[in-house]
Amino acid sequence: MNNTKKYIRILFSGIMIIILLAGCDEEPGLTPGSNLNPPPASDDALDLWIQENYVDSFNIEVVYSWQESLVDQSRYLYPPHKDSVQSVLEFVKALWIEPYNRVAGKPFVQELKPSQLVLVGGRNLNPAGTITLGLAEAGKRITLFEVNLIDKSDSIQVNRFMQTVHHEYAHILEQSRPFNEEVWGEITPEGYTAQWFNESDRGSQEEGFISAYARSNENEDFAEMVAYMLTTNREQWNELIDITARDTEVVTMNGIPVIIEGRPQIREVPEERNRFTRAEEDLKAKEQLVFSYYRDEYGLDIYVLQDSIYNATQRAIRR
- Give me the residue spans of the domains in the chain: 41-176, 178-319
Do 41-176 and 178-319 agree at the fold level?
A: yes
pLDDT at 81 over 80: yes
pTM of the entire structure? 0.80
At residue 1, does pLDDT exceed 80?
no
pLDDT of residue 136: 87
Least confident of 148-157, 193-202, 226-235, 308-317: 148-157
**Which CATH number is associated with domain 178-319?**
3.40.390.70
Q: What does the pLDDT look like over 3-60, one tens digit per residue?
A: 444 444 444 444 343 333 444 443 443 344 444 444 556 679 999 999 999 999 999 9
CB atoms < 10 A from the CB of 252, how many? 11
Listing DSSP states for the chain in one string gives: -HHHHHHHHHHHHHHHHHHHHHHTSPPTTSPTT--SPPPPPP--HHHHHHIIIIIHHH--EEE-S--GGGS-TTS---PPPHHHHHHHHHHHIIIIIHHHHHHHTS-HHHHS--SEEEE-SS-EE-TTS-EE-EEEETTTEEEE--GGG--TT-HHHHHHHHHHHHHHHHHHHHHHS---HHHHHTTSTT---TTGGGS-HHHHHTTT-SSSGGGS-HHHHHHHHHHHHTTS-HHHHHHHT-GGGG-EEE-EETTEE-EETTEE-EEEPPTTT-TTHHHHHHHHHHHHHHHHHHHHHH---HHHHHHHHHHHHHHHHH-
d(CA 169, CA 305): 14
Mean pLDDT of 156-179: 94
Among the residue ranges 67-71, 136-140, 167-171, 189-193, the one predicted with the least confidence is 136-140
Whether 254 shows a pLDDT value over 80: the answer reads no
Would you say residue 167 has pLDDT above 60? yes
- The proportion of the chain whose per-residue pLDDT surpasses 90, expressed as a percent, equals 60
Nearest residue to 86 (alpha-carbon basis) of 66, 70, 71, 64 = 64
Rounded Cα distance between 313 and 47, Å, is 25
pLDDT of residue 32: 43
Average pLDDT value for the chain: 86
Provide the pLDDT for residue 36. Answer: 41
Q: What is the model's pLDDT at position 252?
A: 79
Span 120-163, pLDDT tens digits:
998 888 888 888 889 888 778 999 999 999 888 888 889 999 99
Of 75-79, 103-107, 152-156, 289-293, give the range with the top mean pLDDT. 289-293
- Highest mean pLDDT among 119-123, 228-232, 263-267 belongs to 228-232
Q: Which of 148, 296, 151, 142 is nearest to 227 (CA)?
A: 142
Q: Is the pLDDT of residue 65 over 50?
A: yes
pLDDT reported for residue 285: 98
Residue type for position 136:
A
When mean pLDDT is compared over 24-38, 190-204, 260-274, the highest value belongs to 190-204
* The predicted structure's pLDDT at residue 206: 96
What is 41-176's CATH number?
3.40.390.70
Find the largest Cα–Cα distance for the chain: 132
248-250 and 266-268 as β-strands: parallel, antiparallel, unpaired? antiparallel
Model pLDDT, residue 41:
60
CB half-sphere exposure, 4, CA atoms < 13 A: 1
Q: Is the pLDDT of residue 78 over 80?
A: yes
Say if residue 63's pLDDT is above 60: yes
pLDDT reported for residue 66: 87
Q: Answer yes or no: is pLDDT of 281 > 90.
A: yes
Residues with Cβ within 8 Å of residue 28, at least 6 apart in sequence = none
